[in-house]
Amino acid sequence: MKLIELLIEYGNYSLNRPFSYVYKGNKPVDIGYRVLVNFNNKEIVGYVTSIRETNKNVEELEEELGFNISEIIDVIDSSPLLSEDLMTLADEVSEYYLASKISVLQAMLPPSLSPRRSSLKAPKIAYDQYVELAKYDEDDLTYKQIELLRLIKDNEPVKKREIKQVTILNKLLEKGLVKIKKVEKRRLVIEDYETPKKLNLTEDQNRVINEFKNSDDEVYLLEGVTGSGKSEVYLSLSEEYLNKGKSVLVLVPEISLTPMMMRNYISRFGDKVAIIHSELTPAEKYDEYRKIANGECTIVVGARSAIFAPLSNIGLIILDEEHVESYKQDTPPFYHAREVALMRGKMHNAKVLLGSATPSLESRARAGKGVYHLLRLENRINNQPLPKTTIINLSDYRNIDKESYILSIKLRELIQKALDNFNQVILLINRRGFSSSVTCRSCGYIFKCPTCQIPLTYHRSDMMLKCHHCNYVEPSVENCPNCGSKYLMRSGFGTERIEEEINKMFPEARTLRLDSDSAKIRAKIPQIVESFRRKEADILIGTQMIAKGHDFPDVTLVGVIMADIGLSLPSYRSSERVFQLITQAVGRCGRGDKKGEAIIQTYSPSHYAITMAARQDYELFYRREMESRKAQGYPPYTYLASITISGKVEETVIDNTYRIIDKLNEELGDDAVILGPTTPFVPYENSNHLRMILIKYKNVDIVRNALKKLINASSGKASISISVNIDPYNF
């Protein structure tokens, strides 16, 4: 009999401790297998973490351990799901993020393999069935049967579903003359892309590549202005490592937004490339995962979760656009792909290459201290000049076009000029929908989300009011639900409203809109991007999605409609976000042979994030922003952790929050600054009240221990639950 310890997830019991079961059956089972068990009268899936043979019977074991033990119902897998090194990685991630190991495993595995009950209904391997000859013997066969047997002999293997004479085939199978071979099928259809012209590397690129190859350092930060050809550096280095028999892991922020990277890799390395990202169906994900695990694919290109891809023998890990916030998962275990990349790199003795035009302050600071090796690409390819940039002050009414709410005279002129010259325009407005809120002019009623309590956004395209946080939707109405007045005011604007204005002002122009509403339909985003690249539209209007990594050679004008959205958000990162967004957006133009120009409209024309983004001067911004972080005691000068306390009863939540603050103050004293309680921007989640605490600290060990104690003390409590986010972003 085997005594087995396993991890489970069950409501509040997603604890970081194993539960004991016994197994008397004879299926093979080991660490890393999933098993079906009974827990609190429910069948759930457990994940085996330890196993030992025992000669004792159940009663003796219960006596020894001091609690009741039940039997495992069944073993689910026929091989372990995670390799040993991924198990070790799971331990490290769980330790660093103070997260339960089961939550880490769930983040690591594709949904169809994760230790959840629902995974049992998930996709299995798909097969193509082929018919092959078993032995050739025409004796006792009818003419029809001989005909088919010969056909198979001449064409084997033949796909079973291509054979129309099913009854005859069955006869041949019965007689043992042919047999069926099952071949694993890859459900993700990867288009054949034309092989792009292999570009000659520039002197700059060669210098960077050689510096990388000739150094023994582990982690590199490649800082390259927009349009400097970072992708070519990635491709060349990847090729090097593949030739050495190593595998390569390439992370991109979001594949649907940056199809170029995936394409470049597929066209250069073909079938060796596996793709992992959120747009894949569970079945496709499952196939890709297996292809990586069994070694058929040695390059993985994917978004955040691809950092856990079951690659072995990794030589190089690349994180493109390392500053992008989607690398941080905003649900437990709150991991950041960059941190995990560093852990994985160490385990495999692999080099890690982080790249960006606007590196995160944390990474740039580490490079400044020599923790990372700094590489720089300072010139654009072919020495294209950076776009000429003008900042327009929106608070001066004389700058605004009389027929518009928001377009400046200058921007309107330049759009017209671009259209006249058959060039393309990108307009960025960092908010989707039509208006940002709807208010009653008579009584002041504001339409709010019933769960999140934040204002609803009006979407004209489907006449709906939507919550941009939880996706709550209600139909928009004519009258105020409070006083019945029909004077409802829609204030603020988003992508839809800009599109409407543009269509009015430039009726001849063809427009496209790209925002997360477009993302609701699978494959819609790449379609829009492709269509714009093929010049099927003149103006692309969108949110920050349009600022990411695209290469549109005919874009000569980028307009940032309102650069301030974001600056006013209460976060120590807001300046950094605005700087990154504008720099990336401005970098979209002037990438072909044509010169580019950018207009930045703003209410804060002298804010350093905006003026330095206009000059594309990352280094200057970095120094200025570091000063302000230092003065305010924010990362990279300190570490942050946030604690969210949630519960059904608001009073209980508040009481507990204060209790936790007192406790932490007592325990940490001068080792940390504790801020709060604060009510988060979205104060409710799943009808739970939320409060937050922020901890700023320098001494990692002391704070970590205090947080561990706190987590242990509060686990299993029914009235509140707490979650800890290490290195949180939304503050």
Q: Contact residues for Zn ion (CB under 5 A)? A: 440, 442-443, 445, 449, 451-452, 467, 469-470, 472, 480, 482-483, 485
The least distance separating Zn ion from the CB of residue 685, rounded to whole angstroms, comes to 9
- What is the Cα–Cα distance from 556 to 591, expressed in whole angstroms? 8
* Sign of the torsion angle spanned by Cα atoms 687, 691, 694, 700: negative
Q: Return the bridge partners of 34, or none.
A: 47
Question: Residue 232 corresponds to which tokens in the numbers above?
Answer: 């070519």
What does the DSSP 8-state code read for residue 701?
A: H
Question: Residue 96 corresponds to which tokens in the numbers above?
Answer: 């660093």
- What is the Cα–Cα distance from 640 to 728, expressed in whole angstroms? 7
Question: Residue 280 corresponds to which tokens in the numbers above?
Answer: 């894949």
Question: Residue 591 corresponds to which tokens in the numbers above?
Answer: 């990438």
The least distance separating Zn ion from the CB of residue 450, rounded to whole angstroms, comes to 8
Residue closer to Zn ion (CB basis): 445 or 506:
445
The least distance separating Zn ion from the CB of residue 578, rounded to whole angstroms, comes to 25
Residue closer to Zn ion (CB basis): 453 or 574:
453
- Least Cα distance to 472 among 491, 492, 450 occurs for 450
For residue 61, the tally of other CB atoms under 10 A from its CB is 17
Residue closer to Zn ion (CB basis): 123 or 455:
455
Cβ proximity of 260 and 549 under 8 Å: yes
* Sign of the torsion angle spanned by Cα atoms 484, 487, 491, 493: positive
The least distance separating Zn ion from the CB of residue 455, rounded to whole angstroms, comes to 10
Cβ proximity of 522 and 277 under 8 Å: no
Length of the chain as a residue count: 731
The least distance separating Zn ion from the CB of residue 464, rounded to whole angstroms, comes to 13
The least distance separating Zn ion from the CB of residue 111, rounded to whole angstroms, comes to 24
Residue closer to Zn ion (CB basis): 476 or 580:
476
Residue closer to Zn ion (CB basis): 467 or 546:
467
The least distance separating Zn ion from the CB of residue 644, rounded to whole angstroms, comes to 17
The least distance separating Zn ion from the CB of residue 456, rounded to whole angstroms, comes to 8
Residue closer to Zn ion (CB basis): 415 or 449:
449
- What is the Cα–Cα distance from 126 to 448, expressed in whole angstroms? 46
The least distance separating Zn ion from the CB of residue 438, rounded to whole angstroms, comes to 11
- Least Cα distance to 23 among 56, 1, 6, 55 occurs for 1
Residue closer to Zn ion (CB basis): 268 or 432:
432
For residue 306, the tally of other CB atoms under 10 A from its CB is 22
Residue closer to Zn ion (CB basis): 55 or 687:
687
Cβ proximity of 449 and 472 under 8 Å: yes
Residue closer to Zn ion (CB basis): 175 or 469:
469
- What is the Cα–Cα distance from 326 to 362, expressed in whole angstroms? 16
- What is the Cα–Cα distance from 659 to 645, expressed in whole angstroms? 11
Residue closer to Zn ion (CB basis): 361 or 467:
467
The least distance separating Zn ion from the CB of residue 478, rounded to whole angstroms, comes to 12
What does the DSSP 8-state code read for residue 448?
A: B
Cβ proximity of 356 and 565 under 8 Å: no
The least distance separating Zn ion from the CB of residue 370, rounded to whole angstroms, comes to 45
- What is the Cα–Cα distance from 150 to 138, expressed in whole angstroms? 9
- Least Cα distance to 542 among 504, 516, 575 occurs for 516
Question: Residue 443 corresponds to which tokens in the numbers above?
Answer: 């009584």
Q: Nearest 5 degrees, angle CA 613-CA 618-CA 619? A: 140
Would you call 629 helix, strand, or coil by DSSP? helix
Residue closer to Zn ion (CB basis): 16 or 451:
451
Phi-psi label, residue 266: left if phi above 0, alpha if psi -120 to 50, beta otherwise: alpha
Q: Nearest 5 degrees, angle CA 316-CA 322-CA 324? A: 145
Residue closer to Zn ion (CB basis): 452 or 561:
452
Cβ proximity of 642 and 692 under 8 Å: yes
Cis peptide before 359 (omega within 30 of 0): no
The least distance separating Zn ion from the CB of residue 445, rounded to whole angstroms, comes to 4
- Least Cα distance to 532 among 517, 549, 546 occurs for 546
Residue closer to Zn ion (CB basis): 255 or 454:
454
The least distance separating Zn ion from the CB of residue 448, rounded to whole angstroms, comes to 9
Residue closer to Zn ion (CB basis): 314 or 454:
454
The least distance separating Zn ion from the CB of residue 452, rounded to whole angstroms, comes to 3
- Amino acid identity of residue 428, one-letter, is L
Cis peptide before 157 (omega within 30 of 0): yes
State the maximum Cα–Cα separation within the chain, in Å, rounded to a whole number.
97
Residues 6+ apart with CB under 8 A from 643: 660, 692, 693, 695, 707, 710, 722, 723, 724, 725
- What is the Cα–Cα distance from 374 to 212, expressed in whole angstroms? 10
Phi-psi label, residue 92: left if phi above 0, alpha if psi -120 to 50, beta otherwise: alpha
Residue closer to Zn ion (CB basis): 295 or 450:
450
Residue closer to Zn ion (CB basis): 457 or 556:
457
Question: Residue 494 corresponds to which tokens in the numbers above?
Answer: 């988003």
